[in-house]
Amino acid sequence: MSKLHFESVFLRVTCWFPCISVLFFILLSQGVNASQSIHTVDLSNLKAQQRIVLNGQVQYLVDEQGLNLESVMQANDDQWQANTERRSNFGISANPYWFRLALGNVDQAGSPFFLRVDYPHTDKLDVYIVNDGVLIHSYQLGDTVPYAYRPVDNRIYLLPLDELALANIELYIRAESQGPMELPIDVLTHAEFYHQDKLELIWYGAYFGTMLVMFFYNLFIYILVRDVTYFYYLFYVASTMALQFTLTGASFQYVYPESTNLNNTLVLMLTALMPFSAVSFVRSFLKLESTGMRRDRIITRSFLGAFAILFVSSLFAPYMIVLKATHALSFLAVSAGFYLGLSGWRRGVKAARTFAMAWLVYLVFVVVFLLNTKGIVQPSVISEHALEIGSALELILLSLSFGHRINEEKEMRIQAQEQALHAQSSLNKNLDLLVQQRTEELEEANRQLKDLSIRDGLTGVFNRRHFDELFQIEYQRSFREKNWLCVVMLDIDHFKGLNDTYGHQFGDVCLKTIADVALNKLRRPPDLLARYGGEEFVVLLPNTDLEGGRTVAEKIRHAIESITLDNDGQAVTLTASMGVACVIPNDRDGFAGLLKLADQSLYQAKESGRNCVVCSVS
């Protein structure tokens, strides 16, 4: 079987699982509700039995007329209905219920005992004890009556009937509640009650202990990671614990025993607050606002708005209306949580598998709780603790979902880090190549820039500034090494006339041509040519005596003399005058004198008729 087919089958099974579970639970509950005739309950064997369930022996009457005790005692037998199905939950009713029951041999029970009504949320519970048609004693109980009125300090209702010291009594019980009409009633010895109460407290201790562990464990994680999803989870756990603490009757017993109007209001508020926090958690856990479909976002926003309205309505709206609306919306919200978990699973969110399973489990127990509330199924260990069992299992599974989510995000972070490292490595490699390329380009640009800064823009030979720097260096070297240093000053003859006659563009051509010719006559690497200014050039010849300088100058002069330029069909010849000066320096700073001597020689060449070389030795 392929993985895809398996997941499809699994999803179909999980979708039908709540319905199958509920149907099985209903059939099971109906199977144990065997009918039994009504008769006086004999308590003479209570010590041996320890506990006698009375629901199958009570008769009940729906009070639609506001009856009092006297009217009820005078009612015909046919007005009373036998509880042959042993029902303890009569659903939600706007009318009070009357119950009656006879107990025989009360004084022969053999052990102290309680009459117990094991449901703490009845608004008004009036118990009348009658003997031979005469009212002997009465109790006014319920969560709308101060807690101090209870004869026994306990979260449920306990009546010490053995203290009456009567043989036979009749009980008339009037129950009124805006919520479910439940009357799980029995008689049990003190020993049996304390044994059961101990087990009950162990169960509640385990439940609330588990919830507190989940709360503080995830609180610690929230403090470390500051993920808002953990905050919503903590909000959900806290509201769930508060609701369960209230439903057990412990809130009325320990927190507000004198606030008779607070219990129903608090139940409604917490019943709305718990699913509100659950929807907020689902919305954040599955990241619906950023990655979810628009339909899913609309669903969660609608639920949040509806539960917020119900929360506010619990302060002033009728209890029964708000309770029914909250129960209906809670069922839909839990179903939506299961659906959104499946949707996330299909989108490839691994943590959504456990998430969907958590809401499926809770959905089953919510259905059982609602059926018990409506009186469709009768109370049992499972139905009475359905919300506690379901919420504990759900929150444990949700915590596991957190673990899966953390692992998934860890894998994604590791994968992202590996990709980032690979990208960084590639980037570094490319960056090294780019840096090397840019460095070479920059060096080339700097070289070109430096070359431009030391060369004449027109002729391409060195400029005067660079010549001055090199001339000073070569002069000092010649001083240290006691070698000859020769300077040749060159000036183009009649250059101003050329510019005036043929134009400045032709003059520029002449300058470039002479520079090329002169540079071509320099053979040694140390020799250099520079444009000194205007039509003047200077040649620096290190380690060259006067005769060598004369030879170089004559070669340059003859080369210039042989130049013929064409200007619009007219042949133009060029000549140049040169002054040569040589010296073996006897001080470090005499380079200006050598240059002046070469300039004087140039002047003499011009005075001698131009196109000649004049030499001088310092």
Average pLDDT over residues 115-130: 92
State the angle between helix axes of 386-454 and 351-374 in degrees (0 to 180), rounded to the nearest 10.
150
31: pLDDT confidence band, cut at 50, 70 and 90? very low
Pair 160, 261 in one domain: no
pLDDT for 539-568, tens place per residue? 999 999 999 999 999 999 999 999 999 888
Longest dimension (CA), the chain: 167
More confident residue, 364 or 187: 187
Burial readout 407-419 (b: 16 or more C-beta within 10 A, e: otherwise): eeeeeeeeeeeee
Task: Identify whether 455 is part of a domain.
Answer: no
350: pLDDT confidence band, cut at 50, 70 and 90? low
Radius of gyration of the chain (CA): 55
535 is catalytic: yes
Pair 490, 473 in one domain: yes
More confident residue, 87 or 361: 87
Q: In this predicted structure, what is the pLDDT of residue 25?
A: 40
More confident residue, 28 or 359: 359
Q: In this predicted structure, what is the pLDDT of residue 14?
A: 44
pLDDT for 557-609, tens place per residue? 999 999 999 888 888 999 999 999 999 998 888 888 999 999 999 999 999 99
Average pLDDT over residues 172-178: 92
Q: In this predicted structure, what is the pLDDT of residue 404?
A: 64
More confident residue, 15 or 174: 174
Rounded Cα distance between 287 and 4, Å, is 25
110: pLDDT confidence band, cut at 50, 70 and 90? confident
DSSP code per residue over 355-375: HHHHHHHHHHHHHHHHHHHHT
Pair 278, 296 in one domain: yes
Q: Which of 467, 615, 595 lies closest to 531, judged by CA?
A: 467
Q: In this predicted structure, what is the pLDDT of residue 358?
A: 74
For 399-405, the CB contacts below 8 A with 24+ separation are 399/214, 399/217, 399/218, 400/354, 401/285, 401/351, 401/352, 401/354, 401/355, 401/358, 402/218, 402/221, 402/229, 402/230, 402/233, 402/351, 404/350, 404/351, 404/353, 404/354, 405/285, 405/351
Pair 384, 239 in one domain: yes
Q: What three-state secondary structure class fits 149?
A: helix
More confident residue, 24 or 408: 408
21: pLDDT strictly greater than 70? no
Q: Which of 68, 99, 79, 88 lies closest to 170, judged by CA?
A: 99
297: pLDDT confidence band, cut at 50, 70 and 90? confident
Q: In this predicted structure, what is the pLDDT of residue 349?
A: 65
Total number of domains in the chain: 3
Rounded Cα distance between 341 and 362, Å, is 13
CA distances from 450 to 401, 436, 473, 530, 531 (A): 68, 20, 18, 16, 17
Q: Which two tokens stand for residue 14?
A: 């999980």
191: pLDDT strictly greater than 90? yes
More confident residue, 370 or 477: 477
Burial of residue 510 (CB within 10 Å: 0-12, 13-18, 19+) is: buried
112: pLDDT confidence band, cut at 50, 70 and 90? very high
Rounded Cα distance between 233 and 255, Å, is 25
491: pLDDT strictly greater than 90? yes
Q: In this predicted structure, what is the pLDDT of residue 34?
A: 36
Pair 483, 534 in one domain: yes
Task: Identify whether 574 is part of a domain.
Answer: yes
Pair 49, 7 in one domain: no
Which of 163-172, 353-362, 407-416, 489-498 is modeled with the greatest confidence?
Answer: 489-498
Residue 472: domain span: 464-617
Task: Identify whether 517 is part of a domain.
Answer: yes
pLDDT for 208-226, tens place per residue? 998 898 889 889 888 988 8
10: pLDDT confidence band, cut at 50, 70 and 90? very low
Q: In this predicted structure, what is the pLDDT of residue 374?
A: 60
Q: In this predicted structure, what is the pLDDT of residue 13?
A: 40
Task: Identify whether 207 is part of a domain.
Answer: no
pLDDT for 93-105, tens place per residue? 889 999 999 999 9
Least confident piece of the model among 227-231, 415-419, 608-612 = 415-419
Which of 22-31, 256-265, 459-468 is modeled with the greatest confidence?
Answer: 459-468
Average pLDDT, the chain: 83
Q: Of 368, 389, 412, which residue sits at a domain end?
A: 412
More confident residue, 61 or 179: 61
Q: In this predicted structure, what is the pLDDT of residue 544?
A: 92
Task: Identify whether 217 is part of a domain.
Answer: no
Pair 250, 385 in one domain: yes
Rounded Cα distance between 113 and 117, Å, is 13
Contact between 33 and 168 under an 8 Å Cβ cutoff? The reply is: no
Contact between 557 and 578 under an 8 Å Cβ cutoff? The reply is: yes
Q: Of 378, 412, 446, which residue sits at a domain end?
A: 412
Please report, for the domain that includes residue 180, its CATH number: 2.60.40.2380
Pair 173, 257 in one domain: no
28: pLDDT strictly greater than 60? no
Task: Identify whether 442 is part of a domain.
Answer: no
pLDDT for 235-264, tens place per residue? 988 998 998 898 888 898 899 888 888 888
Q: Which of 131, 121, 60, 137 lies closest to 96, judged by CA?
A: 60
Pair 374, 478 in one domain: no
Pair 187, 237 in one domain: no
Q: In this predicted structure, what is the pLDDT of residue 165?
A: 79
Find the catalytic residue in 535, 536, 561, 607: 535
Q: Which of 221, 358, 217 lies closest to 278, judged by CA?
A: 358
DSSP code per residue over 161-226: GGGG--S-EEEEEEEE-SSEEE--EEEEEHHHHHHHHHHHHHHHHHHHHHHHHHHHHHHHHHHHH-
pLDDT for 156-170, tens place per residue? 999 998 888 788 899
Q: In this predicted structure, what is the pLDDT of residue 577?
A: 94
Average pLDDT over residues 383-412: 71
Rounded Cα distance between 325 and 303, Å, is 12
Q: In this predicted structure, what is the pLDDT of residue 60?
A: 92
Pair 245, 167 in one domain: no
Task: Identify whether 325 is part of a domain.
Answer: yes
